[in-house]
Amino acid sequence: MILYDYFRSSAAYRVRIALNLKGVAYQQQDVMLLENQQRSPEHLARNPQGLVPALEVDGRVITQSLAIIEWLDSRYPEPRLIPADPDARAAAIARALVVAADIHPLNNLRVMRRLKEMGVDEAGRNDWTRHWIAEGFAALEAMAGDGPFLGGEAPGIADLFLVPQMYNARRFEMRLEVFPRLVAIDAAATALPAFAAAHPDAVAPK
């Protein structure tokens, strides 16, 4: 199993956490986004979107972090990351999609590059990023339950999406104390070995 990865990609970070939680052995293959390796013919043949992550399994390639995590949860059901109960499943995926569909697409590398091409300066790009993260985090703060994790008593799919986005928020020097539940959940999750081993600092190319 090969994970085509970039250490600072929040989408790839989610998948690393899932693989670690499930104890699945994999080979990490760096795709250096800042060097445009994702646009190489080799990677485009693997993933026509030219994105990471991509998970190669027995010659097949799965793309998109949510699809990869759903596949892992079906193939390696313990520990379960997506609830089996329909109501709990819908709630968990809804929380994950706040990040995957509403926050991340507005501040990923492709968007930042396009804003720069359009003449938006660095301060403007940073303000753009902080705005959309804050809007999504406000919703997630309200959606969080009483347990130590977004997923309840154990980490679930929503936590896998939250933690990388919290990492990105800190990179942009956001004021996170206004989201106390998210800060507490992030602290509980990142204290776990599976999350710590997936952190960008732990997997950055040497």
User: What is the residue-level pLDDT of the chain in tens, covering all 206 positions?
Assistant: 999 999 999 999 999 999 999 999 999 999 999 999 999 999 999 999 999 999 999 999 999 999 999 999 999 999 999 999 999 999 999 999 999 999 999 998 899 999 999 999 999 999 999 999 999 999 999 999 889 999 899 999 999 999 999 999 999 999 999 999 999 999 999 999 999 999 999 999 98
User: Does one domain contain both 94 and 75?
Assistant: no
User: Does one domain contain both 14 and 110?
Assistant: no
| Full DSSP string of 26-78 | -EEEE--GGGTGGGSHHHHHH-TT--S-EEEETTEEEESHHHHHHHHHHHS-S
Domain that holds residue 19: 2-79+196-202
Q: What is the CATH number of the domain that holds 55?
A: 3.40.30.10
Nearest Cα residue to 65 out of 115, 108, 126:
108
| Number of separate helices (H) and strands (E) present in the chain | 11, 4
Predicted local distance difference test score (pLDDT) of residue 136: 98
User: Does one domain contain both 176 and 97?
Assistant: yes
User: Does one domain contain both 171 and 91?
Assistant: yes
User: Does one domain contain both 66 and 139?
Assistant: no
User: Does one domain contain both 71 and 113?
Assistant: no
Angle at 105 between CA 32 and CA 198, to 5 degrees: 50
User: Does one domain contain both 74 and 91?
Assistant: no
Rounded to whole angstroms, the Cα distance separating 8 from 200 reads: 6
Q: How many domains does the chain have?
A: 2
Contact 198, 24 (CB under 8 A): no
User: Does one domain contain both 185 and 122?
Assistant: yes
User: Does one domain contain both 161 and 179?
Assistant: yes
Rounded to whole angstroms, the Cα distance separating 51 from 85 reads: 32
Rounded to whole angstroms, the Cα distance separating 120 from 147 reads: 41
User: Does one domain contain both 105 and 150?
Assistant: yes
Rounded to whole angstroms, the Cα distance separating 164 from 55 reads: 18
Angle at 199 between CA 102 and CA 99, to 5 degrees: 10
User: Does one domain contain both 51 and 148?
Assistant: no
